[in-house]
Amino acid sequence: MPVPSHPTRRALLFGAVGSVALLGAGTRGPLRTGTAPRPVIPVADTAVPLDAAPVTVDLGSRTVRTWAYGDRAPGPEIRVTAGGTVSARLRNGLPQETTVHWHGVRIDPAMDGAPGLSQVPVASGDTFDYRFTAPDPGTFFYHSHVGTQLDRGMYGVLVVEDPAEPLGYDAEWTVVLDDWLDGTGTDPDTELGTIRDTPRPARTLRSRLLGGTAGHVDYPHYLINGRTPQAPEEFTDSPGRRIRLRLVNAGADTAFRVGLGDHRLTVTHTDGFPVLPVTVDALLIGMGERYDVLVTLADGVFPLVAEAEGKDARAFAVVRTSGGDAPDPSVSVPELDRRLLTLADLVADPSVDPGDAPARAVDLVLGRGRNGTGWTLGTAAARDVTPLRVPVSVGERVRLSFTNATRMWHPVHLHGHTFQVRGEEGRGPRKDTVIVRPRERVTVDVLAENPGEWMLHCHNLYHSELGMMATLGYGDTPPAAPDSSMGGMSGTG
Ligand SMILES: [Cu+2]
């Protein structure tokens, strides 16, 4: 059994037997390392339990009442080998309906968890079995797609392992970033009401890197793997070892600038897909994005910091390869202000770049609603009209251009696909979530290989709930019946 990297996280192995062998000592695959054994449950062909319920979770320095999958957030880490089957049983113990969305996975629409579009939401007290093939190796995650549930504790990581992993590394750590307010005297539904009713907040959170307003919510806590900076996650290994960090931003309204004191980061993947490796000091990760980086560990005790961009606060963890005191959570990390990864740095590995010219182009606008309230995603002529139907045949490419006509950045996410970002000279990474800053225009090519109706939305949860949500459809599937509440992230209002 592997030695896990998180003391309290449950890792669940299932699917192909190869995934178990990959993690076994003495095999080609990397070991997971850390401070204490983590239970690993080999459950070949057995569903992973996702028990959505109100619980009390321990954030380290305090406990809070929230909703989560099991007794902590993040929920169970699910691992499967590419080509294998993910099988998870959602039991809805919440007082309202829910779904699970498998973010970034090229998935059967019926398993995508888009409420009111591809799935009837799972009622309180009911059970739903998610079962699908995970076609691509990489770092993914799962989360509720109903209402503001994502901004409670309703998320977890899905790692799809490559049976022929080309990267050389000794161990891997999962690093999940989150912004937290639930159970601290407020909750996400209360925040949603405030944002809806006061488009101009008293205190403006601004970021030069994000080109304007950074977010709406000044959260009381920012977390790495569900821990506050006062009681941080501690990753331990040995000097000289090469570690793969799988970074996931599961936040609702916060971009994080990530750096590791006295180390550089070699970026190898974004949103699950490989890029030509690029070495930087820090990177910016928006909600819904993932980055995989390699670090070679130095000798000492180091701060792993995720600055809540524009919010004057941070998430924090400790990386330890020797004895000594842990750094203070407020320690200065010069790497954060050195060479920062940009989108222009990222070029898809040639093995995943689709290349061909698109058959159709669709220009989309990220905008504000009438009178400056709410948020929209649509065409210039009809900014808040959905669904969008694209007349392409399966196998053709669609070019989507996103123009940001607002004063705030938006991480735009497409379900069921990854897209080729078309940056300078047409080069860029494969992604499923891409940051579009104010006044920026970002172009992506989508291979139309998964016909159906798919959600296309801002991954700022409050923007999608307030209308920055569209559906994109192609193929023979007829448009979904309009749902009166499809303007939000949920189908339920
Ligand atoms: Cu947005």
Interval between CA 146 and ligand 1 midpoint (Å): 17
Domain spans, the chain: 11-166, 176-342, 350-474
Instruction: Compute, in angstroms, the gap from residue 172 CA to the centroid of ligand 1.
Output: 31
CA of 372 to the centre of ligand 1 (A): 14
* Structure token pair of residue 210: 């994000």
Gap from CA of 106 to ligand 1 centroid (Å): 23
**What is the C-alpha to C-alpha distance for residues 185 and 433, in angstroms, rounded to an integer?**
31
pLDDT of residue 493: 25
Mean pLDDT of 205-232: 96
Instruction: Please confirm whether the linkage preceding 220 is cis (ω < 30° from 0).
Output: no
| pLDDT for the residue numbered 16 | 29
Q: How far is the CA of 400 from the centre of ligand 1 (A)?
A: 17
Containing 19, the helix (H) or strand (E) segment is helix 17-23
What separation in Å is there between the alpha carbon of 233 and the centre of ligand 1?
Answer: 30
Residue 125 has pLDDT above 80, yes or no: yes
Q: What phi and psi, each to the nearest 5 degrees, are found at residue 336? A: -65, -25
pLDDT of res. 353 = 62
Distance 192 CA to ligand 1 centre (A): 14
pLDDT at 201: 64
pLDDT, tens digit (0-9, with 9 covering 90-100), for 55-102 = 999 999 999 999 999 999 999 999 999 999 999 999 999 999 999 999
How much distance in Å is there from the Cα of 436 to the middle of ligand 1?
9
Asked, colleague to colleague, whether 176-342 and 350-474 share their fold, the answer is yes
Kindly give the distance from the C-alpha atom of residue 460 to the centroid of ligand 1, in angstroms, as a whole number. 5
When pLDDT is averaged across residues 285-313 and rounded to a whole number, the result is 98
Question: What DSSP character marks residue 245?
Answer: E
Q: What is the DSSP letter of 464?
A: H
CA of 242 to the centre of ligand 1 (A): 36
Q: How far is the CA of 469 from the centre of ligand 1 (A)?
A: 9
Give pLDDT tens digits for 172-191. Answer: 999 999 999 999 999 999 99
Architecture of domain 176-342: Sandwich (2.60)
In one letter, which amino acid is 258?
V
More confident residue, 21 or 38: 38
| CA of 206 relative to ligand 1 center, distance in Å | 14
Asked whether 117 and 480 are in contact (CB, 8 A), the reply is: yes
Concatenating the DSSP letter of every residue in 421-453 gives E--GGG---EESEEEE-TT-EEEEEEE--S-EE
Considering the domain delimited by 350-474, tell me its CATH architecture: Sandwich (2.60)
CA 102 to centroid of ligand 1, rounded, Å? 20
pLDDT 10s digits, 23-53: 322 233 344 554 433 444 444 457 999 999 9
User: CA-to-CA distance for 235 and 319, rounded, in angstroms?
Assistant: 5
Domain 11-166 architecture:
Sandwich (2.60)
